[in-house]
Chain A
Amino acid sequence: MPDWKRYLRENLSLPLMKAHRDERALQEMADHLEDLYREARGRGLSEAEAERMVRAWIGDPGRAASELLEVEPQRLRARVDRWFEGREEALKARGSLSGKLGDGIRDLRVAVRGLARHPLFSAVVIGVLALGIGATTVIFTLVNGILLSPLPFPEQDRLVVLSHGRPDRGEDDVGQCAAWHFTYEDENRSFESLGMYTFATAAITGDGEPEALPILETTNGVFRALGLRPAAGRLLTRADEDPESPELAMLGYAYWQNRFGGDAGVIGRTVVVDGVSREVVGVAPPELKALGADAAIIRLLRYQRANLFVGNVGYGSVARLRDGISAEQALADMERMLPMALEKFPGGPVAAAAQGSTTVPRVRPLKEVLVGSASTLLWILLAGVAAVLLIACANVANLFLVRAEGKGTEMAVRLALGAGRGRIGWEYLKESLLLGVLGGITGLGLAWAGLRALVAAGPAQLPRLDEVSLDPGVLLFTLTISLAAGAFFATVPMLRLGARRLTDSLKEGGRGGLQGRRQRAQTLLVVSQMALAVVLMVGAGLMLRSAGALRRVDTGIRDPGELFVLGLNFSPRVFPDRPARILAQEEVARRLAQIPGVSSVGMASAVPMHRGGNINPLYVEGITDPSVAPPLTRRHNYIGEGYFETLGTRILTGRTFTWQDIHDRLPAVVVSESLAREYWGSVEAAMGKRVSVRPDPVRWYEVIGVVADVRDDGVDTEPPAMVYWPQVTLAFWQGSAPDEETFWSYAGYAVRTDRVETPGFVEEVQRAVWSVNPNLPLLSAGPLPGFMARSLARRSFALALLTVAAVVALILGSVGVYGVLSYGVSRRSKELGMRMALGAERGQVIGMVVRQGAVLAGVGAAVGLGLALGLTRLMATLLYGVSPSDPLTFAAVAGGLVAVALLASWLPARRAARVDPAVALRAE
């Protein structure tokens, strides 16, 4: 029996059909023919007769094939048509289909039908656009919500942050202190109101376990300056600042919502903060969060003015300028008032170090202070995704150019028949605008999902993230870029249509001979794609190099993955007996060390990555002369036994403290390597030298050891020069008696264990702590690597987004190169065939096409590198250990891009070399 399937496959050009339909049709028809054949044979026909009869049922194979092919493209179109017919019918039935609306619907229908006719083309365009528009929308939403939209305070442009710097000592920003604050409050001519505040962590002890929560300590001026109204109850007033008045508190809005379900009945109840009962008088409005952290409790800073002196800086300060007063005028006013502070609040342990002459006031807009750090990052990312969008648009424009070439003849005929250019332009425009809008809508969906993921991930370095949303401004932005993109696609082919004489198209018989000009437009698009891709790749490459440099950084800490850190506040209210406090601190260290799997435990008033430690002047025997100039301030950390051993910090010389040293009140310090070198020139020379924080030391502290520098403030921040003191010291502060002991209530612990990530470890730590005292909440506890990563969050965020953008850009750019070359090859198959007929080698033909690709990529890379050289300077603050014009990165990117472009050109080149000269020539 004949193989009917094979017969059909060979005679009908079915491979043109879609694969699944093709196979099914083939099978069904072959079965059908087989049935007919069997039947004919059953009736007694000979094999030849039966076969002839069955063939009659197929008829002319060409016609049969075209009949089957006709079915294919109608699928989507038919559905679209039916939908529109339905809508039109419905509108007609209601009598509302008339005039412009009717025209609009018909136009839309024609456009949609046009797209449905080329489902693959449309899907590719919409997909590419959606990616570009979606990414741009996400970043624009961030820029809009964080940088552009005003802060949620009335007349926010009058809000400024007051701070101070000591430029001669390299201290850019020391913040505010109470003495300055009250001086300004009393004497100023520029501020309507001003306030001072600081964020802290407090143990909130309710009926259950103690909780460590962020709290805001503030003067009442902050509420007045920001123009806040309470969400419930009342705000804390100036009268409440009197130290003699009862202790009160306000709840933070989120804490009120989460813990008390927004119940207004909470007013008048009592909360216990760090062991002190406070009556709740009100709830702060949600806007207060814009100031920084989301405080659970707000309490007032209360001062006895008589005890104040200039010093103890580091507070935040916000002020509202009087109407008509500029920031410059306010600054001049502060310069006038600053010297008064020393007269109004004389004395104090560090008065000599805080001579007003070296301090300069600073005034900056509140918004700049709050969002400034994110500004560079976000603008760079916006530029990055905008570049991706441009590349995507260039790709789509290229597709349109190729398609327009196909349509050229049709359009020319219509022009010749009297259709207006406007009408024809509109034909192009409405289709591409529709694509733009569909891409925009899809992109908006992607953006919505992306934003949700982003806000959920909550990159630590993005302020105001909760204020970010797809608001009308963002929707308008997305609509605008969608329409602009759509208009752009239409414009490129339209300009070409406008430029050519319509008879050209007709004469060319539809083959479109204007390759030169079209090719030029395409080449321009591809070169710009490549250039933009290079800029993005250089940006991502520099971030990658920074990440590599950061990974190689010596933090001074060995195997941070084995370290678990936590903080405890041994508040005087929980431990009123001071000697008992230091014993409890030591006891916690011992109990932690007893947890199975823990190899050692160290204690310090500031563990790494917690921005702790305090700042005081350092007097060095024989070097600093307080009568000449106030000494430099240094970082100080107060430690117990085993701190460096637990961190794995190298002890370069000498020794560190034991608990016994601390009980003996040994007058000794350990210093960091950089501090030793700075004062004494070498590590060894530091041994036996003496230091103090007071200008009149009744007791000097001797250096008994030098340790390696530790990056305490973050992996990417230079290690501070550090003095390590025993946890308990005698006669420490200026004016304190020789036997007066200084204790620190905050104690940080570093625990070295291979069980950091083991489930239940935190609970074991908690139990160990509570076995010493059940009123000690764990403060910022967790594996050390988590805190290290937080210090790099801004860079990681930029790295991730730029890398994605660069990869997408590279792919789209390569597709662009491939498209142009591949189209060029198909256009030139005759020429190539001729060359090969005349004896050109395959290799020569491949070389010719690849060379073209290399030129495109080379020009693109050159332009891109030039652009990148100018632009990467803007991202200098995001880089680490690599110059913005790092030659290695630039070279690698250029090389990588050219390599990818060569690969993209090699595919069409190979096809070109396979052109059969005979076939190519016959095609003409």
Chain B
Amino acid sequence: MPPVPDTLAATNRSPAMFSADLKRGSMELLILSVLEGETRHGYEIGKLLGYRSGGQLELRVSTLYSALYRMEDRGWIRGRWVEKEGERRRCFYTLTPGGKAALEAQREEWRAFAAMVERVIGLSPA
């Protein structure tokens, strides 16, 4: 397991940086990408999202877990309770094949969307 960086301490920001709508729209993609190739528990996912975003993406627990459950219902990820020696029982999440496909599709969509938005708002040549 990679070390979990202490983003909250580093940034000391309140957990609402971007508008909620913007985060909600892309949250699934973000969680899927964090789980790519790794099995992680909820706390770790939250921490990693904060770290990779340089502390700008800090999800409230209810937001994080409702997203996880929704994705589990859709069959994108699967949670499994695991007990490791000396640690408390935790629920570890893994990408399913459906989740991998969804990740690819969403990445592609995001790339196209971002390019389109950039063209429209004039950040890149049409």
Contacts and interface: CB of A to CB of B under 8 A. Distances in A.
Interface of A: 12, 21, 24-25, 28-29, 31-33, 35-36, 39-40, 43, 53, 56-59, 63-65, 67-68, 70-71, 74-75, 78
A463 to B, nearest CB: 54
The 9 closest A-B pairs by CB, nearest first: A64-B62, A71-B69, A67-B62, A67-B66, A59-B60, A75-B73, A35-B43, A29-B61, A71-B66
Given A24-B91, A35-B43, A39-B6, A64 B61 contact: yes
B91 A28 contact: yes
A57 B58 CA distance: 9
B45 to A, nearest CB: 10
Contact of B73 (A32, A56, A64, A71): A71
Interface in B9-45: 9, 14-15, 42-43
B110 interface: no
Contact of B61 (A53, A57, A71): A57
Given A43-B9, A56-B14, A57-B15, A29 B73 contact: no
Contacts of B42: 28, 31-32
The interface residues of chain A, by DSSP majority, are classed as: helix
Given A31-B43, A39-B6, A65 B91 contact: no
Given A57-B58, A64-B60, 19 more contacts: A21-B69, A28-B65, A32-B43, A32-B46, A32-B61, A33-B61, A39-B8, A40-B8, A56-B15, A57-B61, A58-B60, A59-B60, A59-B62, A68-B62, A68-B69, A70-B66, A71-B66, A75-B73, A78-B73
Interface in B58-89: 58, 60-66, 69-70, 73-74, 88
Contacts of A65: 62
B90 interface: yes
A57 B60 contact: yes
Contacts of A28: 42, 65, 91
The interface residues of chain B, by DSSP majority, are classed as: helix
11 contacts: A32-B42, A32-B61, A59-B60, A67-B63, A67-B66, A68-B62, A68-B66, A68-B69, A70-B70, A71-B70, A78-B74
B65 to A, nearest CB: 6
A113 to B, nearest CB: 16
Nearest to B61: A29
A75 B63 CA distance: 17
A848 B73 CA distance: 47
A357 B29 CA distance: 101
A75 B15 CA distance: 29
A21 to B, nearest CB: 7
A42 to B, nearest CB: 9
B107 to A, nearest CB: 20
Given A31-B88, A74-B73, A58 B43 contact: no
A423 to B, nearest CB: 32
A59 B60 CA distance: 7
B60 A68 contact: no
Contacts of B69: 21, 25, 68, 71
Contacts of A58: 60-62
Contacts of A36: 8, 43
A107 to B, nearest CB: 25
Contacts of B63: 64, 67
B15 A29 contact: no
Nearest to A64: B62
A19 B126 CA distance: 53
A12 B58 CA distance: 20
Most chain-B CB neighbours within 10 Å: which of A33, A65, A68, A70?
A: A68
Contacts of B43: 31-32, 35-36
